Each structure stands twice: as C-alpha cells, then as structure tokens.
Amino acid sequence: MKASEFGKVGVLFGGRSSEREVSIMSGTGVLNALHARGVDAHAFDPAAQTLGELETAQFDRVFIALHGRGGEDGAIQGVLETLRIPYTGSGVQASAIAIDKVFTKRIWETHKLPTPRYRVIVSSERAHLNEVADELRLPLIVKPPNEGSTIGISRVSGYSGMAEAFTLARKYDDVVLAEEFIEGQELTCAILGQGSQAEALPLVEIRAPDANYDYHNKYFGEATKYLCPAPIDAALSETIRQLSVRAYNALGARGWGRIDIMLSKRGEPFLLELNTSPGMTGHSLVPIAARAVGIDYEDLVLRILALATLEQRGSAQ
C-alpha cells in the first residue's frame, strides 16, 4: 500500500497499564516510522484523551501499540469495533483470551500443545503453597497471569519463598499462577498474518545475564544478547515455528503476535504465552526477527498496519 492509501492513521500508545512506559517507547517508534514513510499518522493516548476524541478524530485505521490491560485485553479492540475503525492485531476474543495465561494454557491443552504444568494458587495458607510446590517441584515460577513484561514474576527455589512470591503477584492480579520451571533456552517466535496465511519469522534466542530476563534487561539494559536465527538444529527450529503457528491459530489470533517458548535441555519445546501487541522498542524481539529476513523496522510497521481490519464486518465501515 502507498502511504496515501492508509488515510489518517491513529497510533494508540501510553494507556494506564503497568506497561505504560514501554508502550510509549513502542508507540513513539511506530509513529516515527510512519512519518518517515509519509503516512498521515497521529498519536493518541487513551490515558490523556477521551473515547469521544477518538471518535471525532476520524481515523481511517489504528495501529495499537498499547501493552497490557486496557490495550491488549480486548477492551480497546471492543471500542474500535463499536466505532468501526479497523485496527492492528487480534480481535476482542483472541485478545481477551491471550492476555490470560491460565485460559491460554487451557486452550492449548485441548489442542494437545505443550505448555509447562501449572496450578492456580487459591490461598496464601502455607499448607496450600507447599502442596503446589510439591506438585510442580521446586524451583518454579509464580506470576500474575494477566500481566506482561515479567511484572510481578518470581522464580521460587524454596518453600520459604512461596508466600513472598504469592504476595508480589497478588499486587498485580486477583489470580496467581504457579508454573513448572523449564530449564533451557529461552526462545520467541514472531508471527505475521492469520489462519493458513500466518507466517512464522525466524526464532530469536534470548540470553539474559544470569538467565534473568527481567523488566530492566528487557528494555533498558545492554547486557542481554539476542541471537537470530536462534542457533539450534534447523529441523527443530522449523518444528518450533510450526508449533507456534498452531498455538497462535488455536487462540484465534490475527495480524501479528509473538509466542514465547522454553526449549528444555532435552530438546522439548514448551509454549509460555502469546503476546498480541508485542513491543516495538529498540530492544524488541519482533523487529529483530523481521530484520533477519530483510524486513526493516519501517517496512515491518507498514506491513502490520496494512493488515488492520475489523473482527465484525456485518455493517458498513
């Protein structure tokens, strides 16, 4: 598509979630890329501007660069469906499912897709916490299932750490997820498109300091290494890419997304989560994967924007 064919474009970023800071970084990058390519693009921050202003802006399409709640959970997607403004990324249902790691796992399990064993922690009582630790075996991961960017996550190595991890996760979510810890390589798979047209980009391996890919190492530190294509056997890489596309389609995702994976030391892949509005910062993984196949940042933004659509097409736009 030519720049003029996109019409007036809104770039939604900022918002009120715990990932606001990262969203501003992503949205600024997207906005600058669109301007560089001559697109009539405008910033829109739902935390500072009203839904009435979104309607009166008369955007022809929207690039969603919001992360976390309010932007990645189906909420803003529902607003855009109501206003009949085509938008990037997954629709209402897929967004709402994918942000919830518990429901994501349940769907993947019904499709016989591999994901780490897990338990929902329902009580802070020591006996219950110890029971969860015994079932999943230490070390394990405790996290709020509706947050991203490793916010509120803990790696627990002993029984004594369970209560503290539970308390931290509960600061961000009413539900707490305990997950089996998979030791091995941390991978991610970016996907563009929908259904049979969904395309998996080359895998990226993430090597963070002390295997701690936390908020700082994700977005601000320079010590994390990103290897793309990931240095693993070609046949295994292709298997993981196909598995990621199956997982993406199982949740009904569209447009673009990123599947996070752990590859165990035995060479077994385990699906962790689907991000339906991945980061687009200078450290982000989807642009890294795109560059490996000759798609620069600006081209990637245009390609994603070209896929903007509505989930419900029954009435005129």
What is the rounded distance in angstroms from the CA atom of residue 217 to the CA atom of residue 246?
29
What is the per-residue pLDDT for 220? 53
Residues 42 and 170 occupy one common structural domain: no
Whether 212 is a known active-site residue: answer: no
Q: What is the CATH number of the domain that holds 146?
A: 3.30.1490.20
Whether 147 is a known active-site residue: answer: no
Residues 191 and 297 occupy one common structural domain: yes
The secondary element (H helix, E strand) that includes residue 207 is strand 204-207
What is the per-residue pLDDT for 311? 87
Whether 135 is a known active-site residue: answer: no
Residues 203 and 232 occupy one common structural domain: yes
Residues 191 and 271 occupy one common structural domain: yes
Q: Catalytic one among 179, 186, 273, 311?
A: 273
Q: Catalytic one among 17, 241, 279, 284?
A: 279
Q: Catalytic one among 275, 277, 284, 297?
A: 275
Q: Is residue 229 part of a domain?
A: yes
Can you tell me the mean pLDDT for 266-272?
97
pLDDT digits (tens, 9 = 90+) for 109-143: 999 999 999 999 989 999 999 999 999 999 999 99
Whether 164 is a known active-site residue: answer: no
Is residue 203 very low, low, confident or very high in pLDDT (cuts 50, 70, 90)?
A: very high
Q: What is the sign, positive or negative, of the torsion defined by CA atoms of 207, 211, 215, 216?
A: negative
Residues 263 and 222 occupy one common structural domain: yes
Residue 148 scores a pLDDT above 80? no
Residues 67 and 201 occupy one common structural domain: no
Whether 5 is a known active-site residue: answer: no
Residues with Cβ < 8 Å from 203, sequence gap 6 or more? 187, 188, 189, 228, 229, 230, 232, 237, 240, 241, 261, 289
Q: Among residues 180, 202, 221, which one ends one of the domains?
A: 180
Within 10 angstroms of residue 102's Cβ, the number of other Cβ atoms is 15
Residues 256 and 203 occupy one common structural domain: yes
Whether 260 is a known active-site residue: answer: yes
Q: What is the CATH number of the domain that holds 21?
A: 3.40.50.20
Domain count, the chain: 3
Q: How far is CA 182 from CA 127, 140, 185, 191, in A?
A: 24, 8, 9, 23
Q: Is residue 314 part of a domain?
A: no
Q: Is residue 310 part of a domain?
A: no
Query: Is the peptide bond preceding residue 116 cis, with omega within 30 degrees of 0?
Result: no
Residues 27 and 162 occupy one common structural domain: no
Percent of residues in the chain assigned helix, strand, coil, to nearest 5 = 40, 20, 40
Residues 267 and 145 occupy one common structural domain: no
Q: Is residue 210 part of a domain?
A: yes
Q: Among residues 180, 202, 219, which one ends one of the domains?
A: 180
Cβ atoms of residues 95 and 72 within 8 Å? yes
Residues 64 and 199 occupy one common structural domain: no
What region, left, alpha or beta, does residue 211 occupy, with left being phi > 0 and alpha being psi -120 to 50 degrees? left
Q: Is residue 311 part of a domain?
A: no
Q: Among residues 143, 159, 180, which one ends one of the domains?
A: 180
Q: Catalytic one among 95, 146, 149, 154?
A: 149
Residues 214 and 129 occupy one common structural domain: no
Helices (H), the chain: 20-36, 51-56, 75-83, 92-98, 101-110, 126-136, 162-170, 215-219, 234-250, 285-291, 297-306
Q: What is the CATH number of the domain that holds 280?
A: 3.30.470.20
Can you tell me the mean pLDDT for 216-242?
85
pLDDT digits (tens, 9 = 90+) for 34-56: 999 999 999 999 999 999 999 99
pLDDT digits (tens, 9 = 90+) for 64-84: 999 999 999 999 999 999 999
Residue 151 scores a pLDDT above 90? no
Q: Is residue 24 part of a domain?
A: yes
Whether 315 is a known active-site residue: answer: no
Domain span holding position 13? 3-88
Q: Is residue 135 part of a domain?
A: yes
Can you tell me the mean pLDDT for 226-236?
96
Whether 258 is a known active-site residue: answer: yes
Within 10 angstroms of residue 110's Cβ, the number of other Cβ atoms is 9
Q: Is residue 317 part of a domain?
A: no
Residues 226 and 138 occupy one common structural domain: no
What is the per-residue pLDDT for 244? 98
